[in-house]
Amino acid sequence: MKIDIKTVPQAAPPSLDPKNIAFGKMFTPHFFCCEYRGGQWQNARIEPVHNFSLHPAALVFHYAQAIFEGLKAYEHADGSIALFRPEMNARRFNASAARMSMPHVDEQLFLDAVNELVKADHAYTPPFPGSLYVRPTLIGTEPCIGVKSSSEFIFFILTLPAGSYFPELPSGAGAVDVLISESVVRAAPGGTGHVKAAANYAVTLQVITQAKEVGCAQVLFLDSSSDRRVEEMGGMNILFVDNGDLVTPALGGTILNGVTRDSILTLARDMGLKVREEAYGFDDMLARIRSGQISEVMACGTAAVITGIRGFKLESGDRIPVGDAAPGPVTNQLFEQLQGIQYGRIPDRHGWVTQVVPARAAVR
Ligand SMILES: Cc1ncc(COP(=O)(O)O)c(C=O)c1O
């Protein structure tokens, strides 16, 4: 489908110092938008960001028919701007849409829309270690009080200049404390944990607030079975260095197939590490950390890249420190590899990087 580019000339962007950008609060001037009506997508366009006018009965407000994605564009040293594995996000977006009974978005439209929007607002890409965060979203908009799938939808994409996800951390992998949610679960077999349904995040807000109150930056969720197996964080996957192997919970119906997770597993194999996809029970994980068998734990995702976990807090208030120092050596090595490829410093041997803006055009 053709995308109508209705951009409006802008004043020069404000200073984009990655150290001073609060994640999620600053938007570029344009967005992509497209409506689904009468069984088809129509009116694909890029235009200045504006509010939506929706009926208060729009299905998204009542029954949470909403999904989203998150990916980033990175400025390379030559001034070019590139996306990291956007086709994985396009595929995952459609997996989420199918699970939430929403219409398929042609992968080419998804990719073209992301490319065109990044091109239009590329001057808002902060320099290293910043990036331009891209947020594709799909919502059901038909006005109807009644639990059913919407017949009307809006697919839109916002772009946001991004600095560090954890601004309090020094540059590099950094390390945070994480609260283990022993009583609240985010996903269950047969549910929506493996897709990016907006509702998955709403159910974690209460415990995220509690985590912040006890000085934790993130929450680790366990599965809903009596084994209480370790699954993932509210917005990141988790990996362990166990006796020198890299271990992460296997994908199933309850864990998001993270683009960063997948990339790290590939990079770890490249580095000669043995990779195991298996889940620890909660008590087993704590015992391995206490004995030192697990020497490093890291969280990974598009927003936070790779972040070391320096300790877990339990609901009892106890704190379990991880390893000798966080981020540990494997965490740091994986971080350098991944970030090096994303910013074009390390050759892209897996074909993960898609250039959107060539070097000569990216002049501020
Ligand atoms: C629940 C959850 N797990 C893991 C991730 C990491 O996924 P990715 O690496 O694709 O950003 C995210 C972020 O999208 C997430 O929301």
Question: In this predicted model, what pLDDT tens digit does every residue of 191-236 receive, in sequence order?
Answer: 999 999 999 999 999 999 999 999 999 999 999 887 899 999 999 9
Range 244-259 average pLDDT:
96
**Contact status, residue 243 vs residue 307, Cβ threshold 8 Å:** no
Nearest Cα residue to atom 15 of ligand 1: 235
Res 43: pLDDT: 98
- Cα of 18 vs centre of ligand 1, distance in Å, is 22
- Cα of 250 vs centre of ligand 1, distance in Å, is 14
Range 312-317 average pLDDT:
95
Residue 245 has pLDDT above 80, yes or no: yes
Which segments of the chain belong to CATH 3.20.10.10?
175-327
- Identify residue 328 by its one-letter amino acid code: G
- Cα of 257 vs centre of ligand 1, distance in Å, is 7
Lowest-pLDDT range of 168-182, 263-277, 313-327: 168-182
Q: Which of 194, 180, 157 lies closest to 297, judged by CA?
A: 180
Q: Ligand 1: which of 237, 259, 266, 352 to mutate, most ligand atoms within 8 Å of CB?
A: 237
Structure-block tokens of residue 273: 């590490």
For 363, phi then psi, to 5°, come to -95, 130
Which is the closest atom of ligand 1 to the Cα of 262? 9
- Cα of 360 vs centre of ligand 1, distance in Å, is 33
Residue 309 has pLDDT above 60, yes or no: yes
For 355, phi then psi, to 5°, come to -75, 135
**Contact status, residue 179 vs residue 299, Cβ threshold 8 Å:** no
Res 22: pLDDT: 86
Q: What CATH number was assigned to the domain covering residues 4-163+345-361?
A: 3.30.470.10
Res 171: pLDDT: 66
Residue 13 has pLDDT above 90, yes or no: no
Res 141: pLDDT: 98
Residue 361: DSSP 8-state: G
Which segments of the chain belong to CATH 3.30.470.10?
4-163+345-361
- Strand, coil or helix: what is 107? helix
Given the DSSP bridges, would you call strands 175-181 and 305-313 parallel, antiparallel or unpaired? Answer: parallel
Residue 363 has pLDDT above 70, yes or no: no
Nearest Cα residue to atom 2 of ligand 1: 235
27 exposure class (CB count in 10 Å sphere: 0-12, 13-18, 19+): middle
Residue 360 has pLDDT above 90, yes or no: no
DSSP string, 226-259: TT-BEEEESSSEEEEEETTEEEEPPPSSSS---H
pTM of the entire predicted model: 0.96
Rounded to the nearest integer, the mean pLDDT of the chain is: 94
Res 15: pLDDT: 84
pLDDT digits (tens, 9 = 90+) for 34-92: 999 999 999 999 999 999 999 999 999 999 999 999 999 999 999 999 999 999 999 99
Q: Is the dihedral of CA 231, 279, 173, 124 positive or negative?
A: negative
Residue 182 has pLDDT above 80, yes or no: yes
Which is the closest atom of ligand 1 to the Cα of 92? 10
11 pLDDT tier (thresholds 50, 70, 90)? confident
CATH superfamily for domain 175-327 = D-amino Acid Aminotransferase, subunit A, domain 2 (3.20.10.10)
pLDDT digits (tens, 9 = 90+) for 263-306: 999 999 999 999 999 999 999 999 999 999 999 999 999 998 99
Nearest Cα residue to atom 16 of ligand 1: 235
Report the 3 state secondary structure along 174-190: CEEEEEEECCCCCCCCC
